[in-house]
Amino acid sequence: MALYSDKVMDHFMNPRNVGIIENADGIGEAGNAKCGDIMKMYLKIDDDVITDVKFETFGCASAIASSSMATELIKGQRVEDAMKLTNKAVAEALDGLPEYKMHCSVLAEEAIEAALKDYQSKKNS
Ligand code: FES
């Protein structure tokens, strides 16, 4: 069996939503101390709905595919729903990741959570 699913390969070779958003409403970053990979998420939010999302990932194929899929999953979602995104859901949407690569999807969950929290703290200040 191939190490990576077709979906992982697709999102790695043609990642969706790569880039940055100027004047983003929320920015979040997550890193993994062991492998040194870093992911940054930028959110544009109108009326508590995520209208745009972009990412920059300096990391492995699974991290890039996870970021790409995660951005697709939360685009158009309400903030409260996006908060519930788990790394498992990201991995499932990619038709699975090898067990030892699951931590790469955790970066996506954490970076999005950090960006949403950044948005909430700005909103409440
Ligand atoms: Fe570091 Fe994948 S090996 S995030």
Domains of the chain (ranges, CATH numbers)? 6-124 (3.90.1010.10)
From ligand 1's centre to the CA of 101, what distance in Å?
7
From ligand 1's centre to the CA of 46, what distance in Å?
32
pLDDT tens by residue, 99-114 = 999 999 999 999 999 9
Which SS3 state, helix, strand or coil, does residue 85 take?
coil
pLDDT tens by residue, 53-102 = 999 999 999 999 999 999 999 999 999 999 999 999 999 999 999 999 99
Which run of H or E residues covers position 26?
strand 26-31
11 token code pair: 């999102």
Beta carbons within 10 angstroms of residue 45's beta carbon: 22
Amino acid 2: pLDDT: 80
Amino acid 124: pLDDT: 86
Active site annotation includes 35:
yes
29 token code pair: 């970053």
